[in-house]
Amino acid sequence: MSDTVTSRLSGFHKLPMEERLAQIGRMFRLSDEELEQLRGVGTLEPVLANQMIENAVGIFSLPLGLGLNLNVNGRDYIVPMAVEEPSVVAAVSFASKIVRESGGFVAEADESMMIGQVQVSNYGDPTLASERILDAKEEILALANSFHPAMVARGGGARDVEVRLLPAPEGPRGEPLLIVHILIDTQEAMGANLINTVAEGVAPLIEQVTGGRVYLRILSNLSDKRLARATCRIPLSMLADFDLPGETIAEGIAQASRFAEADPYRAATHNKGVMNGIDAVAIATGQDWRSIEAGAHAFACRGGQYRPLSTWYLEEGHLVGRIELPLALGTVGGPIKVHPGVQVALKLLRVSGVRELSMVFAAVGLAQNFAALRALGSVGIQKGHMAMHARSVAVTAGARGGDVEKVANLLVKAGHVKVEKAKEILASLILEKPAVAVTITNG
């Protein structure tokens, strides 16, 4: 695929679904089979589902949308997003449009350094045990790498050993916790399985070196040596909206950021907004989103208080946004090469590797956050959100086809987006329709 693909697809949201699909098919030269996978038909065969998890009985579907307008480090990305919540895809596309007109997102990502943890107990003197482990570092690394020669050949593998002594939690023994960290570059993989193999593999050597007993051996989902960062700088003049000057909108966003930095109650909701975007791309691209969520929230707490993953401030006539979070992603492993829908999603994203993927994820999180704060810090979120939510409410009330849009519009107009109201509106629409002759064929 050439690099001339643009993510600026004007009027895309107004097209019927089939025409959107046809446009994407032409842009990415998708085969009929790939188009079927985007459409969700036969995406995951039951036989495959049965091999992926236990007690499988079927397939669960989610809507797949495309986040548009995203530009990161001068490159355009069309972002596949699997999500059930209205307004998430629109918000990313809207925010990305403003940011691209301001020069786009600038992003970077660390190498794929993951942490394997080994918990040692009954080791005697803590200082001596720690020293012994560090003295045996080269031996531990060599043993670790012996379990994954292919990873070493790829340029990855075990890189370092760290020892942490943690104060003992309340309990009878009082022994400090001795935790060994093995740092492993997992290259294009998220790495959970290979880290767990290594952690289990080196445990006997660690027992031998310390004379202690090893209990847990598993990766940490707080992958804080595998961070991705994105920033954007938006001129204040570009923020004017809702009959408000750009300065006022920017001040609202900066105030929202200050609120989240000071208050964990607000930070949790702030970060939920960030994860709205990140989770949606994670699901579409076959990532372990529970691990991403766990890592993000643990990272948000790193200073002892839960804080926002992104911050916003005013600087020299610009609104500046920054995000930093751990992103343990993969372009191989887990379901990525197994799930055919994931393959098409990654084809649309056109990333050259996992670090570029992480940069896109970080930018999507910041875009999502910008869209939410922009509304929250000015006219409030309900106006825009309810307009989108009204469609789901209309469907819940029983509206189908052309009635969905009609009922949704009337709900918003009534300022009362509730299922009961939607049922009322739907009933009145049905009464207005000309009667259709019905032939009773049996009974």
Q: Which of 188, 251, 279, 324 binds ligand NDP (CB under 6 A)?
A: 188
Looking at the Cβ atoms of 120 and 195, the one nearer to ligand NDP is 195
Cβ-based neighbours of 223, under 8 Å, separated by 6 or more: 113, 114, 115, 295, 326, 327, 328
Looking at the Cβ atoms of 105 and 361, the one nearer to ligand NDP is 361
Q: In terms of Cα–Cα distance, which of 281, 181, 269 is closest to 228?
A: 281
The reply on whether position 190 binds ligand NDP by CB under 6 A is yes
Instruction: Assess whether 385 carries a catalytic annotation.
Output: yes
Looking at the Cβ atoms of 222 and 362, the one nearer to ligand NDP is 222
Q: Could you say which of 185, 188, 288, 324 is catalytic? A: 288
The reply on whether position 192 binds ligand NDP by CB under 6 A is yes
Q: Which of 113, 140, 151, 250 binds ligand NDP (CB under 6 A)?
A: 151
Q: In terms of Cα–Cα distance, which of 353, 354, 302, 342 is closest to 325?
A: 302
Cβ-based neighbours of 438, under 8 Å, separated by 6 or more: none
Please give the C-alpha separations between residue 248 and each of 213, 236, 315, 374, 375, in angstroms, as whole numbers: 60, 9, 14, 10, 12
Looking at the Cβ atoms of 328 and 426, the one nearer to ligand NDP is 328
Q: Which of 142, 150, 216, 262 binds ligand NDP (CB under 6 A)?
A: 150
Instruction: Assess whether 270 carries a catalytic annotation.
Output: no
Instruction: Assess whether 181 carries a catalytic annotation.
Output: no
Q: Which of 75, 148, 270, 339 binds ligand NDP (CB under 6 A)?
A: 148
Instruction: Assess whether 272 carries a catalytic annotation.
Output: yes
Burial of 60 (0-12, 13-18, 19+ CB in 10 A): exposed
Backbone angles phi, psi at 59, to 5 degrees: -120, 140
- Alpha-carbon span 265 to 60, nearest angstrom: 32
The reply on whether position 221 binds ligand NDP by CB under 6 A is yes
Least distance in Å: CB of 121 to ligand NDP? 21
Q: Which tokens hold the place of 282?
A: 């994670």
Can you give the length of the chain in residues? 443
Q: Which residue ranges make up the site for ligand NDP (CB under 6 A)?
A: 148, 150-151, 154, 186-194, 219, 221, 288, 291, 330, 332-334
What amino acid positions are annotated as catalytic residues?
85, 272, 288, 385
